[in-house]
Structure 1
Amino acid sequence: MRTPQVVVVMGVAGTGKTTIGALLATRLGVPYAEGDDFHASANIAKMTAGVPLDDDDRWPWLDAIGAWAHGRAGLGGVVSCSALKRAYRDRLRAAAPDVVFVHLAGDRAVVEDRMSHRQGHFMPTALLDSQFATLQPLGADEAGVVVDVSGGPEEIAGRAAEALTALSGPTV
């Protein structure tokens, strides 16, 4: 039997990382961690004000998520994290080498529509352009899968679970 892996659900804001991540964790029978909970309050204040984070803002956040993933090695888990740049994913892999990424990808118009209907989230739609500009899709050499965000949450989570199973075998 394979050791359960830690899955990082990644993508731009509004793709459903939190919703899909929680559903995927339930399907896989592992804990879920909300990536936004690892942000310093200064980061949240910046984003709430419509100011994109820079790499200096992100490094401590990525290190905290990486530490969580490292602590879940061999136990499995799902964590949401935008992980938009290859360098960010490399940083996560440095902390937890066996992480696998699920890149939630979708058309900008679909993502913007979803963001405009969200309530109670600090990320404004004004930052969506910066998110898409920063996004570096998974490289062929990166462990992970790309899942389209069209359809409902259960459908998307199901596609993610199937893609992970195809990637890794029966136990993710």
Structure 2
Amino acid sequence: MSTPHVVVVMGVAGTGKTTIGPLLASRLGVPYAEGDDFHPPANIAKMSAGVPLEDEDRWPWLDAIGAWAHERAGLGGVVSSSALKRAYRDRLRAAAPGIVFVHLTGDRSLIEDRMAHRQGHFMPTALLDSQFATLQPLEPDEPGVAVDVSGSPEEITDRAVDALRDRERSSAAQ
């Protein structure tokens, strides 16, 4: 991508945001921020206990991610955030209007299997149903691309880079 954008790697738990985010940042030559690090301790405690977050829990978290993205405007960066609802993405864009989303998508059984085998993460597999129920995929007027999560992390990252470049080329041609 020619202009440094802030890219939000989004999707339900288990799609690989924490794996793909740093790889994508490295490929784009920009810093990476782990979205989970922006959660207040109360949110992590709730999710660790298998309790889905409410919107009121998410606003301070989204505002913290938005502030980071705002600071990176014009410099570029990659940050992970589930950003499951349009309202959450709108809030992030209000803080940093140049944000572009990479929505990691995939088959539910693949994502559930990946969640079941990951180590050291606070999000239990039991919350996957609530994640899919909450998910509002990117709409055509939202700046972003959808990327399938099947394959290796390198293959997924290649697809993300290609999709972002294709998006930038088509935007420049309009």
Match of 2:48 in 1: 48
Quote how far apart the aligned CAs of 1:168 are. 1.2
Could you report, residue by residue, the CA deviation over 1:1-38 in whole angstroms, capped at 9, with x for unpaired residues?
A: 94300000000000000100000000000000000000
TM-score normalized with structure 2 length: 0.96
| 3-state secondary structure, aligned to 2:75 | coil
CA distance in 2, matches of 1:2, 1:106: 28
1:1-172 paired onto structure 2 within 5 Å: 2-169=2-169
Could you report, residue by residue, the CA deviation over 1:25-78 in whole angstroms, capped at 9, with x for unpaired residues?
A: 000000000000000000000000000000000000000000000000000000
CA distance in 2, matches of 1:161, 1:33: 18
CA distance in 2, matches of 1:167, 1:6: 14
CA distance in 2, matches of 1:159, 1:108: 19
CA distance in 2, matches of 1:57, 1:168: 34
Instruction: Provide the aligned length of Structure 1 versus Structure 2.
Output: 169
CA distance in 2, matches of 1:152, 1:138: 23
How much is the aligned-residue C-alpha RMSD, in angstroms? 0.9
Gaps of 5+ in 1: none
CA distance in 1, matches of 2:148, 2:44: 27
CA distance in 1, matches of 2:168, 2:39: 30
Paired residue type of 1:132: F
Gaps of 5+ in 2: 170-174
| 3-state secondary structure, aligned to 1:114 | helix
Paired residue type of 1:103: H
Could you report, residue by residue, the CA deviation over 1:142-169 in whole angstroms, capped at 9, with x for unpaired residues?
A: 0000000000000000100010011114
Runs in 1 of length 4+ with deviation above 6 angstroms?
none
The alignment-based identity, stated in percent, is 81
CA distance in 1, matches of 2:113, 2:155: 18
CA distance in 1, matches of 2:91, 2:13: 20
CA distance in 1, matches of 2:164, 2:21: 13
CA distance in 2, matches of 1:78, 1:132: 23
TM-score normalized with structure 1 length: 0.97
